[in-house]
Amino acid sequence: RELHTGRYNFLHRSWSPLEPFDDSMPEILKDNGIYTRLVTDHQHYWEDGGATYHMRYNTFEFVRGQEGDPWKAVVDADVAIAASSNETRDTLRRQDAINRQFMRTPESQPQARTFDLGMEFIRENHEADNWFLQVETFDPHEPFFTQQEFKNLYPDGYTPPPEWTDDWPNYAPVTESDEYVQHMRYRYAALLSMCDRYMGRVLDLMDELALWDDTMLIVCTDHGFLLGEHDWWAKNVQPWYNELAHTPLFIWDPRSRIRNERRQSLVQMIDLPATLLEYFGIERPANMQGQPLRDTIANDASVREAALFGAHGTHVNCTDGHYVYMRAPAKPDNMPLYNYTLMVTHMRGHFSREELKDAELVPPFSFTKDCPVLRVPSRAWAAAHPFGNLLFDVQADPKQLNPLQDDTVEAMMIEKMVALMQDNDSPLDQYERLGLPMPSA
C-alpha cells in the first residue's frame, strides 16, 4: 500500500486493500498519460485483502502458483506435508505441494514466467515513451522452492526429519538443530540464485535494447527474513530487526548516471512513488509524505532526519540512521488497538461479524479526504509486549546483539517518534497503546 500512497499506513490499520480515499501512484501516472503495467505472481493481489490494487494500472497480468495459491485442482491428492499447529498454514502447504507437481522446470515456475512477461512488455514497447512497468515477483519469499540445478550450488547432504519442512520455515523461535538451520539457509541461497538468473536477464535486455540512456530502473523489496538470526525464523512475530527492516534498494537514474556508489541517506518505500512522479514531471499529492530521491541518488542529499517503520499492532519503530528505537506495547493485552478503514477485509477473508459488531463510524483523518472511517477493534496476531522496548546503536552494533540502556538517547528517540506519529496523524489510541506522551493540540 505504501508503494501506492507514499505514506505510512501501519499506524491506522493492518494488511489492507487500497482504501477509497487513498492516492495511488500508478493511477496518478495513468491519469496523466503514462501507460502503467503490472505483471506479478504475488497471489495476495487476488485475495480479499489485495483486490483493489491491480485495477489502478492500465493493464495487468497474474501468474499463478506461489505459496499455496489455490491454483491447481487435484481432489484426491496424495501429498505429504509437515504438519504444524496452524490450520491455515497446513492448508497452504497442502495446496503448495499440489501446485509443485505442475512446476518441474525453472521455466514453469511463477518467478520465471513473471520475468518473461515483463521482458515481453519491454521488447514490445521499448521504442515507446512514457510507460511504467512493475515486475513484482513473490520470490525469494518462503517457501524456498526451486529446482535441483540451483540446490546443487549449495550441497549439504542433509535431509530434514519428516516433522520438519524442507524449505518452508515456521514463524517461530528456532528449536531445530544447527544442521537444519544451515540447510534452510542453503535452500534460501538456492532460490536467490534463481532470482539472480532471471533478474539478470532483465539487465541483459536493457543492454541489448540500449535502454539505460532514458529508462529508470528500481530494484527493491518489502521486507527481509530471519534465518536463525536472533534465534528466530521468519518475520512479524519478533521485533523488527535490521534483517527484516533494512532492505536492499538499487536505483539507476539516467539523469545523473551514478553507478557503483552507495548512499548513506535514510530512505524508505514511501519515497519511491514520490520519486517516480517526479521523474515523469507530475506533482505529488499533498498527502504523499515520501520525498523524491533524485538528489539523494545524485549526491546523497538527505530527505529526512528520522523514519518510522513497523507493522500494525506490533512495535512501533523509529530510526535516525544511528539509533533504532523499538517501542513495545505498554500492557500485555496490547490495548487499545483499532483498524481504521472503509475496506473491511483481511488478507484472506472479510472482517468477522464479531469484529464488526463493535465498529463505530468516526470523524475523518487528515488524509481521508473528508471521509469518515470505521473504527474496528483489532488484535495483533503476535505478542510484542514480552520483548519490551529496545534501543540499538546500529552504527556500532549493526547486528543488534547488544541493546542499550541510555535514558538520554531513549528520550531523544521518543521525541522523534512522537513527532513522526503526529505528522502521520496517528490515532490517539496508538500513543496510549505504546505508553507514549499524548501530542499537544
Handedness of CA 199, 200, 205, 207 (dihedral sign): positive
Give the pLDDT confidence score for residue 85 in this predicted structure: 67
From 257, 273, 298, the end of a domain falls on: 257
| Rounded-to-integer distance, Cα 91 and Cα 134, Å | 30
In a domain, 285, yes or no: no
> Mind listing the pLDDT tens digit for each residue in 72-128?
999 998 887 876 767 888 899 999 999 999 999 999 999 999 999 999 999 999 999
| Residue 157 structural domain | 22-257
Give the pLDDT confidence score for residue 220 in this predicted structure: 98
Which amino acid, 100? R
Which of 111, 114, 194 lies closest to 152, judged by CA? Answer: 194
In a domain, 36, yes or no: yes
Residues 6+ apart with CB under 8 A from 308: 8, 11, 316, 317, 318, 417, 420, 421, 424
Number of domains in the chain: 2
| Rounded-to-integer distance, Cα 316 and Cα 307, Å | 11
C-alpha cell at 432: 496510549
From 223, 257, 291, the end of a domain falls on: 257
208 and 321, same domain (yes or no): no
31 and 170, same domain (yes or no): yes
In a domain, 339, yes or no: yes
Give the pLDDT confidence score for residue 160 in this predicted structure: 87
Strands 316-319 and 323-327: antiparallel
In a domain, 14, yes or no: no
From 257, 288, 318, the end of a domain falls on: 257
Residue the block writes with cell 506479478: 40
C-alpha cell at 193: 540464485
311 and 234, same domain (yes or no): no
| pLDDT tens sequence for the chain (441 residues) | 999 999 999 999 999 999 999 999 999 999 999 999 999 999 999 999 999 999 999 999 999 999 999 999 999 988 878 767 678 888 999 999 999 999 999 999 999 999 999 999 999 999 999 999 999 999 999 999 999 999 999 999 898 888 788 999 999 999 999 999 999 999 999 999 999 999 999 999 999 999 999 999 999 999 999 999 999 999 999 999 999 999 999 999 999 999 999 999 999 999 999 999 999 999 999 999 999 999 999 999 999 999 999 999 999 999 999 999 999 999 999 999 999 999 999 999 999 999 999 999 999 999 999 999 999 999 988 899 999 999 999 999 999 999 999 999 999 999 999 999 999 999 999 999 999 999 886
Residues in the chain: 441
In a domain, 284, yes or no: no
Strands (E) located in 67-150:
131-136
C-alpha cell at 83: 504438519
126 and 184, same domain (yes or no): yes
In a domain, 52, yes or no: yes
90 and 208, same domain (yes or no): yes
In a domain, 50, yes or no: yes
In a domain, 275, yes or no: no
419 and 336, same domain (yes or no): yes
* 3-state SS, residue 125: helix
Q: Provide the whole-model pTM.
A: 0.96
333 and 214, same domain (yes or no): no
248 and 311, same domain (yes or no): no
Q: How far is CA 178 from CA 12, 84, 158, in A?
A: 39, 20, 11
| Rounded-to-integer distance, Cα 293 and Cα 265, Å | 10
Helix (H), strand (E) at residue 345: strand 345-346
Half-sphere exposure of 185 (CA within 13 A, CB side): 12
CATH code for the domain of 96: 3.40.720.10
- 95, 110 in Cβ contact below 8 A? no
- 223, 269 in Cβ contact below 8 A? no
251 and 192, same domain (yes or no): yes
Residues 6+ apart with CB under 8 A from 336: 429, 432, 433
* 3-state SS, residue 338: strand
- 389, 405 in Cβ contact below 8 A? no
| Rounded-to-integer distance, Cα 291 and Cα 297, Å | 12
Give the pLDDT confidence score for residue 234 in this predicted structure: 97
322 and 183, same domain (yes or no): no
CA angle at 47 for the pair 43 and 53, rounded to the nearest 5°: 80
221 and 316, same domain (yes or no): no
- 131, 214 in Cβ contact below 8 A? no
137 and 56, same domain (yes or no): yes
